[in-house]
């Protein structure tokens, strides 16, 4: 298996078969497990053997298959799956931090991530420092010997800023700080985060991993020691376990993730080419287009620009709403990474709770629309976006 290419790992890694020899992975939809004897139960609670389970909150064969498969695909030693992406974010951070610790984070984050940092961790005595994630001088200034964790989105939501993983990780490791990355926009297809210096990688499996809008899930990836000794005890006792049925959906999603994400990226590239310089747009932002300020970094780090664009309509909120309401192929929702193209107005939805001055600082303007490119025919999607812009 160590010689397998990523697409093969995404189909076969971590597979466990029951005595029936099923082809598609089995869904072990059970809360608990039966022991052969009282002595066996005692032994299992003392120390779990290979492929042994106690209770669904602690682990499950279907969930374990997903954890092993995504770890193999990502190049991580171990993984722990959670009920949602935000359970993964909060679990990864809260399990490793305590009162008096210091976190340096990029300020361009999903609204719920900002809530975890500022409202929850801040309330419990963790110092939070937010900075411009694209400014290496700011990282160098703020990552001090007192810093315990560095946290950022490798590609930010929703403005698509790209953070230099290798450069920030080098600064962090020089001060013995751990590097925790929310890697959702990069997806496992374009991720090389661990080889670039990440200590912990987080995914919302709800996005590209499922990829078809069916279920929620999350996963934390890292070293065997971190997952087993830090994350697992915290999550076992706090309880955000991934459902076995959702884990099965994620396994099925991984089988096609490479094909889906590469097809979506090709469409995103074509859409960006059609929209950059459009008269109705103040800007069109796509990391894979040469017009993006960090295009070269994106190509070095990911190799491709990914599946998301940001469009800033020159007419502000009114124009953005007219544009969204005129769509016939794209749908208005707040998810991403789906087979359907999804368009979102962050200022009034995903980042609505942020005060206006913070929105301004992050570049979340009234006219900004996030576009998550789906699997429709590229010509149909491009034509739909162009006709909707005509009505904006």
Q: What integer is the mean pLDDT of 147-153?
A: 98
Per-residue model confidence as pLDDT tens digits over 201-224:
999 999 999 999 999 999 999 999
Distance in angstroms (rounded) separating the CA atoms of residues 76 and 70: 8
Q: What integer is the mean pLDDT of 20-42?
A: 96
**Residue 50: what pLDDT?**
84
**Residue 1: what pLDDT?**
65
Per-residue model confidence as pLDDT tens digits over 127-136:
999 999 999 9
Q: How many residues does the chain have?
A: 392
Whether the ω angle into residue 158 lies within 30 degrees of 0, i.e. cis, is yes
121 or 48, greater pLDDT: 121
**Residue 353: what pLDDT?**
85
Confidence of residue 195 (pLDDT cuts 50, 70, 90): very high
How many CB atoms sit inside 10 A of residue 32's CB?
11
Per-residue model confidence as pLDDT tens digits over 297-346:
999 999 999 999 999 999 999 999 999 999 999 999 999 999 999 999 99
pLDDT at 2 over 80: no
Which residue segments constitute the domains of the chain, with CATH numbers given? 6-253 (3.40.640.10), 258-391 (3.90.1150.10)
Q: What integer is the mean pLDDT of 250-259?
A: 98
Confidence of residue 243 (pLDDT cuts 50, 70, 90): very high
Share of the chain above pLDDT 70, in %: 100
Structure-token pair, residue 98: 């305590």
Per-residue model confidence as pLDDT tens digits over 256-305:
999 999 999 999 999 999 999 999 999 999 999 999 999 999 999 999 99
Distance in angstroms (rounded) separating the CA atoms of residues 267 and 286: 12
Q: What integer is the mean pLDDT of 53-73?
A: 97
pLDDT at 49 over 90: no
Average model confidence (pLDDT) across the chain? 97
């Amino acid at each position: 298996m160590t010689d397998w290419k990523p697409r093969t790992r995404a189909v076969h890694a971590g597979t466990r078969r029951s005595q029936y020899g099923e082809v598609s992975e089995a869904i072990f939809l059970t809360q608990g497990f039966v022991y052969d004897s009282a002595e066996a139960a005692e032994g299992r609670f003392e120390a779990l053997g290979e492929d042994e389970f106690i209770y669904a909150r602690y682990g499950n064969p279907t969930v374990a298959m997903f954890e092993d498969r995504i770890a193999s695909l990502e190049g991580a030693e171990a993984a722990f799956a959670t009920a949602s992406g935000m359970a993964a974010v909060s679990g990864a951070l809260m399990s490793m931090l305590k009162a008096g610790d210091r976190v340096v984070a990029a300020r361009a984050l999903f609204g719920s991530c900002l809530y975890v940092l500022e409202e929850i961790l801040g309330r419990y005595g963790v110092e939070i420092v937010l900075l411009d994630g694209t400014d290496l001088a700011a990282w160098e200034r703020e990552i001090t010997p007192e810093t315990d964790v560095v946290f950022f989105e490798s590609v930010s939501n929703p403005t698509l800023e790209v953070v230099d993983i290798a450069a920030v990780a080098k600064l962090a490791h020089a001060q013995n700080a751990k590097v925790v990355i929310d890697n959702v926009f990069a997806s496992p297809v374009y991720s090389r985060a661990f080889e670039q210096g990440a200590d912990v990688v987080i995914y919302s499996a709800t996005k590209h991993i499922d990829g078809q809008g069916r279920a929620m899930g999350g996963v934390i990836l890292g070293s065997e020691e971190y997952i087993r000794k830090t994350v697992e005890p915290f999550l076992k006792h706090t309880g955000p376990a991934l459902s076995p049925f959702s884990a099965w959906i994620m396994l099925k999603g991984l089988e096609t993730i490479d094909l889906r994400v590469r097809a979506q990226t090709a469409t995103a590239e074509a859409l960006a080419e059609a929209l950059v310089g459009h008269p109705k747009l103040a800007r069109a932002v796509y990391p894979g287009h040469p017009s993006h300020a960090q295009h070269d970094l994106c190509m070095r780090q990911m190799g491709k620009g990914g599946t998301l664009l940001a469009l800033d309509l020159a007419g502000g909120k009114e124009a953005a709403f007219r544009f969204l309401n005129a769509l016939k192929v794209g749908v208005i929702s707040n998810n991403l990474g789906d087979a359907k193209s999804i368009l979102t107005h962050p200022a009034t939805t995903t980042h609505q709770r942020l005060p206006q001055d913070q929105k301004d600082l992050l570049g979340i303007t009234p006219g900004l629309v996030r576009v998550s490119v789906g699997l429709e025919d590229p010509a149909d999607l491009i034509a739909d976006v162009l006709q909707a812009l005509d009505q904006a």
